[in-house]
Amino acid sequence: MPAVLLPASAQAFAARGTVNVVLSNKVEPWLTATLKRINKIKRPLNSVPQHTRCLTETLSSTNAIWSLCSIMVPKAPETELRKDSNPLVEAIFNYQMLQIEAYVVHVDMVSRNEVAFKLTQDTIDALVEYHKEIFSIDTSANTWAWPDKDTQLKKLQEEFVQAANKFVYRTSALALEGLEEDGAGELLCGRGDEVRNQITGLFVPLLPPPPKPVVEIIRPAPILPSSTIAETWWPSQHISAVQPPSIDTWRIVPSSPSPVSSCHSHNGYYTEVGMPDMHHLPSPTPSYSAPSYDSTPYSSAAYTSSTYYTSSPAWSAPTPVTTMSMSSLPLPSMLASQPCGTSANMNFGWDRYNEYMMPYATAM
């Protein structure tokens, strides 16, 4: 893309000068028809130099002022505007129209096919005055106060003056179709809206300084004290289900009991073990059949294994003693007349207990 070359008259604060016109080797038919329409005196337009000379003289005239657009602005600051119930009355007394006028400074129909407009001095002065007397007051009232507010406001006004003087509107060369007599003209085909948007963009609001950043103090996370108690990973009900039930050592009975005496079997065995716990004992297998004593009340029939256990196979759960079998047991007073060593055939093996424990009992 070639560089945009503008004449010296397009610079900021530059006086108006002669329009710079550059045409191509072949003149567009619409440009020839426009020049013939605006000239009161018929001039020859048969070559490119003739078109260039006619267009330059027409656009360089002091009366060649173009009306680009119009902008409605308030007449006074917002606090001084008139309040009325009728919006038409408010519009008439509170607002005014600023006419944005400009003149042509450059016509290029070779590289960019464009025309450039620069604002007139009267338009620049009207915009600067409105910015200083109305816009600056309103934007200052709508912002909070800070130490350098006045300085920033003056700087904002100076920047607007520079921007208004530098403003140049460029558009297609077809805009010259709106050319009228004496070089004046008006933009067509909605180009005035583009100028209005660009002019409005020059009014930059007063921005307060950004707030100071809040320094957030990041505190380290507190270190929790190490726990000295072992953590419970599983619920108590799971632990009780896994752990084996506690067994009292006095309840453990050997699988094959040895024969004991009858007196110690009644006094010691039933006292320590207890009848309700008999269902924990395995079913013993008798090694031999006891002889029968018909003449004495101590018949072996009362002490056979069938009295206490059923004839269940080995390693099966024992059957608890019934009421009938308990009633057939002899009382301890009935066993007092019998010597302790004569009942080895009772199949309990307490005779060995008598041999080992009696000396100690005598010593005590």
What's the pLDDT tens digit per position in 311-321? Answer: 444 454 455 54
pLDDT score at 233: 53
Partner residues linked to 117 by β-bridges: 104, 169
pLDDT score at 213: 76
DSSP letter, residue 296: S
Residues 6+ apart with CB under 8 A from 354: 260, 261, 264, 340, 341
Nearest to 183 by CA among 334, 286, 43, 62: 62
pLDDT in tens, 195-225: 999 999 999 998 888 877 777 777 787 777 6
**Positions in the chain whose pLDDT score sits under 70:** 1-4, 225-364
Q: Mean pLDDT, the chain, as a whole number? A: 75
59, 61, 62, 65: CA torsion to nearest 10: -30
Residue type, 149: K
pLDDT in tens, 123-160: 999 999 999 999 999 999 998 888 889 999 999 999 99
pLDDT score at 245: 56
pLDDT score at 207: 86
pLDDT score at 359: 59
Nearest to 261 by CA among 338, 152, 331, 191: 338
Nearest to 194 by CA among 102, 121, 311, 277: 102
Residue type, 331: L
CA distances to 43, 93, 175 from 55, rounded to whole Å, are 11, 42, 14
pLDDT score at 216: 74
pLDDT score at 301: 44
Q: Which residue has the tokens 């002889």?
A: 291
pLDDT score at 349: 54
pLDDT score at 344: 45
pLDDT score at 182: 87
Residues 6+ apart with CB under 8 A from 260: 269, 346, 348, 349, 350, 351, 352, 353, 354
pLDDT score at 311: 46
Q: Is the pTM of this model over 0.75?
A: no
pLDDT score at 40: 81
pLDDT score at 155: 94
